[in-house]
Amino acid sequence: MSIIAIVGNKGGTGKTTLALNLAAGLAQRDGVVIIDADPQQSAYQWRLVREQDETLPMVVAAAVGLKNSVQALARTHAHVVIDCPPSIKAPQTEQALAMAEHALIPVQPSPMDLWATTHIARVVERLRPDNPALRACIVMSQIEPRTTLSRLMPDALAELDLPVVNTAIRRRSIHRHCILEGRTVYQAGRRGEAAAAEIDALIEEVLHHG
């Protein structure tokens, strides 16, 4: 059983995209539920696009009453993936961090994203006495390997007080297409293979060896 919070302190880094795809990857083996803790309800909206498709993980909107929802759903699902709002100060982010075993923090290759992330390590440390088991790590998100910023990213991230996952999520247009269609890269056939392999590698690294 694992509770995985996808958190961040910046909008548009790829939290929701990661939450949905991570849940779909985990669902290949185990029961998974996505909890949408963001009042924007992006994950919840995504699920409505293909509401009748029972092969996709369930999304529960719980920006209000998050703690009770997580506790209840963790009893009936092997994995609970929580998609958080884009602020470390949001009460939902704190509540998710207080309950999670894993926190994944997608960070884009941009200075503004890096600066916004420095606060997260402090909040994780502050919550440590209440949740000593929490493992928080950064996931490089929307990486374009050929750009200078992407290449400089590992060095820049080394300055933050949080471990960085080896598996990086590349920027791929298939991610956008899939969200638009209410799917994940796992339902995109060959076009989604490379992206799905990345998510599988992330699951392996963080949940099975982390």
Ligand X SMILES: Nc1ncnc2c1ncn2[C@@H]1O[C@H](COP(=O)(O)OP(=O)(O)OP(=O)(O)O)[C@@H](O)[C@H]1O
Q: Residue 63 or 99: which CB sits closer to Mg ion?
A: 63
Please, are residues 105 and 120 in contact by the beta-carbon 8 Å criterion? Answer: yes
Instruction: For 3-34, give one letter per residue: b (16+ CB within 10 A) or e.
Output: bbbbbbbbeebbbbbbbbbbbbbbbeeeebbb
When CB distances are held under 5 to 8 angstroms depending on the partner's kind, the choice from ligand X, Mg ion, none that residue 179 binds is: ligand X
When CB distances are held under 5 to 8 angstroms depending on the partner's kind, the choice from ligand X, Mg ion, none that residue 11 binds is: ligand X
**Least CB distance from residue 161 to ligand X, whole Å?**
21
Count of CB atoms within 10 A of residue 163's CB?
13
Site for ligand X in 63-92 (CB under 6 A): 86
Site for ligand X in 17-56 (CB under 6 A): 17, 38, 40, 42
Q: Does 117 bind Mg ion (CB under 5 A)?
A: no
Q: Does 16 bind ligand X (CB under 6 A)?
A: yes
- Strand-by-strand arrangement of the 102-107 sheet: 58-61, 32-36, 79-83, 2-6, 102-107, 135-140
When CB distances are held under 5 to 8 angstroms depending on the partner's kind, the choice from ligand X, Mg ion, none that residue 47 binds is: none
Q: How far apart, in whole angstroms, are the C-alpha atoms of residue 194 and residue 145?
A: 14
Q: Judged by CB under 6 A, which of 77, 79, 102, 172 binds ligand X?
A: 172
**Least CB distance from residue 25 to ligand X, whole Å?**
14
Q: Does 109 bind ligand X (CB under 6 A)?
A: no
- Total residues in contact with ligand X, by rule CB under 6 A: 19
Classify strands 102-107 and 2-6 as parallel, antiparallel or unpaired.
Answer: parallel
Q: Can you tell me whether residue 33 is helix, strand or coil?
A: strand
Q: How far apart, in whole angstroms, are the C-alpha atoms of residue 145 and residue 129?
A: 38
Chain residues in the site for ligand X (CB under 6 A): 8, 11-17, 38, 40, 42, 86, 142, 169, 171-172, 175-176, 179
